[in-house]
């Protein structure tokens, strides 16, 4: 699936109070082909390999909640359901 991003701040340029994710869009402009490769290599693939190595291979949907700052993705959470606002756009 493609990337998705929710809106957080109410104002233009990410200013103003946090809206708690009222609305989303896809694809997320910050996730180009190079960033997607980094995310898969550094976050997703090691997670899935680690689960398999521990005897619990993952089957299903693994939705990664990421923050990308200074060109570096950081994992905040995993979801195994399509319950977040971002998923509505997928």
Do 72 and 34 touch, CB atoms closer than 8 A?
no
pLDDT of residue 31: 94
The pTM of the full predicted model, rounded to 2 decimals, is 0.81
3-state secondary structure 20-79: CCCCEECCCCCCCHHHHHHHHHHHHHHHHHHHHHCCCCCCCCCEEEEEEECCEEEEEEEE
pLDDT of residue 24: 78
pLDDT of residue 18: 67
Comparing CA positions, the residue from 31, 79, 84, 37 lying closest to residue 58 is 79
Burial class of residue 17, CB neighbours in 10 A (0-12, 13-18, 19+): exposed
Report the alpha-carbon distance of residue 76 to residue 64 in Å, rounded. 8
pLDDT of residue 53: 98
pLDDT of residue 21: 61
Report the alpha-carbon distance of residue 74 to residue 65 in Å, rounded. 9
Chunked mean pLDDT (size 10), the chain, 90 residues: 77 71 80 96 97 94 90 92 73
pLDDT of residue 37: 97
């Amino acid at each position: 699936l493609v990337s998705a991003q929710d809106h957080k701040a109410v104002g233009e340029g990410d200013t103003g109070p946090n809206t708690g994710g009222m609305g989303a869009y896809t694809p997320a402009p910050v996730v180009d082909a190079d960033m997607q490769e980094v995310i898969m290599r550094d976050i997703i693939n090691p997670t899935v390999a680690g689960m398999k190595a521990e005897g619990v291979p993952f089957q299903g949907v693994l939705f990664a909640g990421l923050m990308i700052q200074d060109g570096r993705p950081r994992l905040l959470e995993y979801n195994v359901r399509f319950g977040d606002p971002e998923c509505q756009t997928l």
